[in-house]
Copies of this chain bind each other. A is one copy, B any other.
Amino acid sequence: MLRISFIRNKFPLKQLKPLQFRPLQLQSIRYNSKMSGEENLLLIPGPIVISERVRQAQAIQSLAHTSPEFISIFQKVLVDLRKLFKSSNPKDQGLVIAGSGTLGWDITASNLIYPGEDVLVLSTGFFSDSFAECLKVYGANVDILTAKPGEVVPFEEIESQLQKKSYKAITITHVDTSTAVVSDVGKISSIVKSKSPDSLIIVDGVCSVGVEDIEFSKWGLDYVLSASQKAIGVPSGLSISFISERAITKALNRPTQSTFFASLVKWLPIVQNYEAGKPSYFATPAIQTVNALKASLEEILESSLDQRFAKHHETSSKFKKNLESIGLKLVSTSEEVSANGLTAVYYPEGIKGSDLLPLIYKKGIVLAGGIHKDIKDQYFRIGHMGVSALDDSRGDTDKAFKVIKESLEELGYKSK
């Protein structure tokens, strides 16, 4: 064969010098509970700082995806997802696929909505609008109810729209990472159940699962999609979601398939097998990140979930009050709609983001700019999820507040 002889002629095997592998010293894994000056403090709304336990789990050597070791890891993950999502129906199903939060939109649009069906999208910002775009790509007819920046869609508008028109599904962005507002999914679900019980209730929980309460069974949800790198506390790289028995039935009866990689017809038997302790193959899972997810779910479930949410709320409220105490204005317009995993705050008059954020970065803290299309240059965002919200000894949000205040003052802002 040409290929092999070519190599042979060029590099006769006997004359090959041995390949060199540089001897490696193990780098110590640095702890991140304190700012060391070497490593920035990551306080964006995801990816978030991962715990040492998760980091160690991420560093395992590769395993065969069908080995007993990995089956037991994946099985534990799928069982624990039932607890995280508070599902009581064994016919609901957790799903973990190598990908990102965005993949959950494709899973929705290509499995749970048939082409030509009507979908109502509640938009609270950038991410809701992108979800709507994805739904359209796969053929849905989309109506959008748009909230003002910093607000949620009023319940009455939802109710009245559901009375005007019949929808096969409604999508809710639980926390829109662009504006830091939280929608009341429990209340919206009760409206849908009362006015349009056949509509699937689909929740984008990318920035809510693990920080805001989600009652999958009690609220009657059909699909909640999330990702690994926010409040679930794992490196980025996984689409993590949970699907109801009713939505599974709809996906399995879809007349034609619209996707291959995101197809639930392909994936459901796989995760069902893994959860039953049996190997199964469609596409190779992200072994190390699934193991990190196992570690993080165990860490999360060791305390009570409600306690976890309450602690995030406590950290978030204190941080937001601190910012308000120096005269800053939050993007979220009331405490009721303020998300607990992140804060969006307007730059004060006369202060530019292009001055403030680089200055804060120089002081070792990584924050995020705004992304809502109407106000994106007017505000910035601070994430406080996972260890940064839960571990008081780290003092992450206090450090962030101190550095934001200092930096604003250096730029001429007079704190109130």
CB of A351 within 8 A of chain B? no
When C-beta atoms are compared, the residue in chain B nearest to A1 turns out to be B336
Interface readout for A28-54 with B: 1 if CB under 8 Å, 0 if not? 111010000001101010111111110
Return the chain B residue nearest A303 by Cβ. B19
Closest chain B residue, CB of each to CB of A43: B64
Given known A10-B306, A24-B53, A186-B3, contact A62–B336 (CB-CB < 8 A): no
State whether A236 touches B284 (Cβ < 8 A): yes
Complex CA distance for A32 and B60, rounded to whole angstroms: 11
Q: Which residues of B contact A285 (CB under 8 A)?
A: 100, 236
Could you tell me the distance in whole angstroms from the C-beta of A34 to the nearest C-beta in chain B? Answer: 13
Of B16, B48, B99, which contacts A62 at CB under 8 A? B48
Chain B residues with CB under 8 Å of A19's CB are 303, 307-308, 311, 390-391
Asked if B98 and A100 sit within 8 Å, CB to CB, the answer is yes
Determine whether A328 belongs to the interface, using a CB cutoff of 8 Å to chain B.
Answer: no
The 8 Å CB contact of A18, one of B212, B284, B392, is B392
> Could you list 12 further interchain pairs (A-B, Cβ under 8 angstroms) beyond the known A3-B184, A10-B306, A19-B390?
A3-B182, A3-B213, A19-B308, A21-B51, A30-B61, A47-B287, A48-B62, A55-B59, A67-B366, A235-B287, A261-B262, A286-B289
Q: Give per-residue flags for A198-242: 1 if the beta carbon is below 8 A from chain B beta carbons, else 0.
A: 000000000000001100000000000001010000011110000
Q: Is A102 engaged at the interface, CB distance under 8 Å to the other chain?
A: yes
Among the interface residues A4, A11, A105, A308, which one has the most CB atoms of the partner chain B within 10 A?
Answer: A4
Q: Is A337 an interface residue (CB 8 A)?
A: yes
Among A85-93, A165-173, A252-260, A395-403, the stretch that binds chain B is A252-260
Q: Does A77 make an interface contact (CB < 8 A)?
A: no
Confirm or deny: A288 has a beta carbon within 8 angstroms of a beta carbon on chain B. yes
Q: How far is the CA of A44 from the CA of B46 in the complex (A)?
A: 34
Q: Is the CB of A21 within 8 A of B391?
A: yes
Select one of B29, B58, B103, B309 contacting A283, CB under 8 A: B103
Can you pick out 7 interface pairs between chain A and chain B where the beta carbons lie within 8 Å of each other? Answer: A1-B336, A13-B314, A21-B390, A22-B53, A98-B98, A134-B260, A261-B262
Q: Is A325 an interface residue (CB 8 A)?
A: no
Closest to A31 in B: B26
Residues of B within 8 A of A49 (CB): 61-62
Interface residues of A in 57-73 (CB under 8 A from B): 58-59, 61-67, 69
What's the Cα separation between A284 and B383 when bound, in Å? 15
- How close is A182's CB to chain B, nearest CB, in angstroms? 8
Check A287 against B39 for contact (C-beta < 8 Å): no
Q: What is the interface residue range for chain A against chain B?
A: 35 or more
User: A340 to B313, alpha carbons, bound, how many Å?
Assistant: 56
Q: Find chain B residues with CB under 8 A from A47 CB.
A: 62-65, 284, 287
A187 at the binding interface (Cβ < 8 Å): yes
B26 near A310: Cβ-Cβ < 8 Å: no
Contacts of A10 in B (CB 8 A): 306
Contact of A184 among B2, B58, B303, B366 (CB under 8 A): B2
CB–CB A24/B56 < 8 A: yes
Q: With CB as the reference atom, state the residue of chain B lying closest to A8.
A: B310
Once A103-B261, A258-B137, A259-B106 are accepted as A-B contacts, the answer to whether A26 and B56 lie under 8 Å apart by CB is yes
Q: With A49-B61, A283-B103, A288-B235 as given contacts, are A137 and B310 in contact (CB-CB < 8 Å)?
A: no
Please, which residue of chain B has its CB at the minimum distance from the CB of A369? B66
Whole-angstrom distance between the alpha carbons of A252 and B210 in the complex?
Answer: 38
B interface footprint on A151-192 (CB within 8 Å = 1, 0 otherwise)? 000000000000000000000000000000010101100000
Q: Considering the chains assembled together, what is the distance between the CA atoms of A47 and B98 in angstroms?
A: 14
Residue of B nearest to A312 (CB): B7
CB-nearest residue of chain B relative to A13? Answer: B314
A101 at the interface (CB under 8 A from B): yes
A65 proximity list for chain B (CB < 8 A) = 47, 236
